Amino acid sequence: MATAAALLELGDRYWALGLPAAAKSALGRALAATDDAAPALRLTDLALAQGDSASARRFATEAAKRAPGPATKILLGRAQLASGEIAAARMSFGAALDAPKIAPWDRARAHLELSRASASQSDPSGAAAQAAAGFEAALTAAVGSVAPDALTLLEELASAVVAHGRSADVTASLEVAKDSAGRRMCAAALLSARHAAGDRAVTDAVIDAELAALEAAAPSAALRLRRLERRTRKLATIERDALLGELDGLIHASAAEPLTPVDRARLWFLYGALCADDLATRDRAEDAYRKGLAFQPGHTAAACRLALLMFDRGDQAGALAEIERALRIDANHGLAWRNAARMLDAQSPSLGVIVGRLLDAANPGAGSAAGSVAPRLVTATAEVVRQDVIAGVYAHGHRVKNLLGIIGARTRSARKLAAEGDVHDRLKDLEADVTALYEEWAQYLRSMQAPTPTVELVSLPPLLHEVVLAAQARTQQVPIALETTAGLPDVRGDRMLLREALLNIVSNAAEACAAAGGGEVHVRVRAISSPGASTAPLVELLVADTGPGIPRAYLGRLFVPGFTTKETGSGVGLAIAERVVSAHHGRITVDSEEGRGTSITITLPTDKSGLAALPLWTVAERGTP
């Protein structure tokens, strides 16, 4: 049977490897096997790092019983503060400060936690005074000796001092303090905090010089990590691989020179940020952010970055879970809400579910209250913003188009005046390029216009037959099959606009298959019953291909004018199709899976009112009449 000491060592090793569940198990067994406070202290630290305030409160209480003293009182106060028991936390910190044998670094920590308690009670003057007192205590402690986690504590104190406007006071104390490695560490932490707060008097060069001198005097893994972080901010592409190599070395070296959990998280977050810059290493980036979040799950920005990586590779469920985590940590975090907005597809039947989950994450209980209303507001807001942007681009775009026309005309005139030769040939090439750009830009602008259909009764089978023949002529190597059903009702709309929209969609599908080296396209049309009060059926057109598919991250942008996944595409075909379908009060949706193909579904009304007043519906609600 393993001894308590062996279990304690095993728990520390698991925690150092970023395996919190295994660490909790080993430390829990150690707690049961001994009356020593060490397992309870470790479990409290682990629970605080994991954001588990209830467990932290339980283990800290046990630690205080087993080893009463200033250090355990501070730890208990931190757990109480995390649980929202502010008055109890203040009493614990005060009792620690009143203890006659409190260690200098514990005094600094107690003042920092009291500063946080004051800030949570909207007491800025108290928070400022406690932060300054904490930094003064840390300076006194650092001149004597430097604790293993001193740099992290100093950075937290410096940030609090700067945030509460007391940097001038502690700077004065630094100037009269005895020179030592600890004093320089305090100075470096304060300079970094001032720089992060936007103090232009502090330059990167000053901070780099301070850290270099400090590392030369007292080298440590924590200082090396800070210097690597600063190098990353100014990183050139060619240096990236070298820096990744140094980080790999620091990760392996930290086994011999352990880092605090916060510093381990910083190390993995830095590694993840570097790997995220290259598509070839993005899987390593995700893994690094997960390892960092195991040490510091309350890091909102890291959860947001992980969500973006997962969203970019099409893992929407995983991305949503990380965004929920970020909103639970900080419901006011701007990046978390911007990531949440990326998750919202106004055309998706699951929009209400996603909005409800996001609202519940930010404010428990809000999802059920607003989940049914918010999707409508999201849809309307997205459409308003989109229309405003398109209107602005359209208005200014005509000036660009006219300028291209003038350049093309003048180039044509110059070419006619130039004698045969090199200049004439160059002008001819320029004329061709400008003409092509003019035509593409004109088409781009046209994709932004909301078409006004000329309403007539349109029979779909002959129209689709015509579209398939035209698309087949463009891409002959890809077979296009058409499947219709008897008795299809006519739709109300503009035949020419519908022809253009459908031809764009079918041609896109065939070109995608051709670019991938093969495949086929199926066009199907059928009548379906209306999910609303209308008795008139709807017509559903499905264009499915067996091409390469589209990454999930791109699906929400397919109808944005100018966006394309093809190297030579203009990005206007689907935008035009979407606007034509909308003008006919229809709906268009896309479903795709990389490696298996893409399906585009268009639903059109057969009555005058169309789909404008109908609710969202799902595939399960459809049915043939």
The SS3 of residue 75 is helix
Query: Which pLDDT score is estimated for 624?
Result: 31
- CA atoms within 13 Å, Cβ hemisphere of 539: 25
Higher pLDDT among residues 481 and 408, named by residue: 481
Looking at the predicted structure, is the pLDDT value of residue 285 above 70? yes
Q: What is the pTM assigned to this prediction? A: 0.54
pLDDT of 146 reads 72
Same fold, 4-218 and 456-621: no
pLDDT at 207 over 80: yes
* Domain boundaries 456-621, CATH class: alpha beta
Closest CA to 94 of 81, 84, 82: 81
Per the CB < 8 A criterion, the answer to whether 499 and 466 are in contact is yes
| Dihedral pair phi/psi, residue 418, rounded to 5° | -75, 145
| Mean pLDDT lowest among 29-43, 53-67, 269-283, 469-483 | 269-283
Give the C-alpha separation, 593 to 580, whole Å: 25
CA distance 555 to 532: 27
pLDDT band, very low/low/confident/very high, at 617 (cuts 50, 70, 90) = very low
CA distance 101 to 186: 24
Task: Give the residue, 428 or 381, on which the prediction is more confident.
Answer: 428
C-alpha triplet 304, 308, 314: angle, nearest 5°:
140
Average pLDDT of the chain is 80
- Give the model confidence (pLDDT) of 9-27 as tens digits: 888 888 777 778 888 888 8
* 4-218 has CATH 3.40.190.10 classification: no
How high is the pLDDT of residue 134?
92
Q: What is the pLDDT of residue 618?
A: 33
Q: Supply 481's token pair.
A: 């099959």
Run of H or E residues at 521: strand 521-528
User: How far apart are the C-alpha atoms of 519 and 475, rounded to whole Å?
Assistant: 12
pLDDT in tens, 309-337: 888 777 888 888 888 888 877 777 777 77
- Per the CB < 8 A criterion, the answer to whether 138 and 157 are in contact is yes
The amino acid present at 17, given as its one-letter code, is L
445: closest CA among 500, 402, 508, 401? 401
Helix, strand, coil percent content, the chain, rounded in steps of 5? 65, 5, 25
Yes or no: say if 145 and 185 are a contact pair by the CB < 8 Å rule: no
Question: Could you give phi then psi for residue 258, rounded to 5 degrees?
Answer: -60, 140
Domain ranges of the chain: 4-218, 220-297, 303-372, 379-448, 456-621
